[in-house]
Structure 1
């Protein structure tokens, strides 16, 4: 079995978050993978040393959605204990992302303020242009001749 297909996904719950502080990480793994394959996959993918692996086969559970009856999928869960002092970081870009978002927000704000300044200048020039045109326009002394109201 390929190492990349052994580990399906991490199991992230309140209980597993508490266990992570003790160096125990929980993964959903291929149903037919054994402990040796799981340990090799974790060591190769995450570049850490595995102390021990505990596995549980979680059976399917009946679920109802309205009038439809079905089952959840069965899966195998592996609790991997790492050697003391090693850890796996599931969220590596968590700190970098907010910094990029703040820079992007500032750029958008600066762009918006530039646009607002240009619009304000344009409106001001239109106001002054209409005032000068109103003063220079000549009034006509022609009377309208004709009937038919």
Structure 2
């Protein structure tokens, strides 16, 4: 497996570090899990006028378009049969989507069967957000999560 990282220095975002770390760990874990030996994973980030864009692209098995539409919903997996081989309950992408949205961001997924998947995260640049969200829910320990 080849990992290509083209992330450079980026401006800050207003975010809960633990929440964003969880999003990145979930996305990278999925990418590694579904990219076969000899595959390729690309991680790129760039600063745009209003947002930071982070893109994770792989050459894994990909998914048909109709499966992609439901991803990000709680307990939804692209192919339930894959969970037997790879584990998981279908909450990872839903968590990533929700945490991204709680930070004023957005998560987009595009995929082509047998060609791979691209997950793109958009977060407002620090200078573009004047007030952080005060209540982002609760962490796994029941503690309030704040940005």
What TM-score range do you get, normalising by the shorter chain?
under 0.3
Larger radius of gyration: 1
Higher helix share: 1
If the length of structure 2 is used for normalisation, what is the TM-score? 0.28
Query: Which of structures 1 and 2 has the larger relative contact order (alpha carbons within 8 angstroms, sep 6+)?
Result: 2
Give the TM-score, by structure 1 length: 0.27
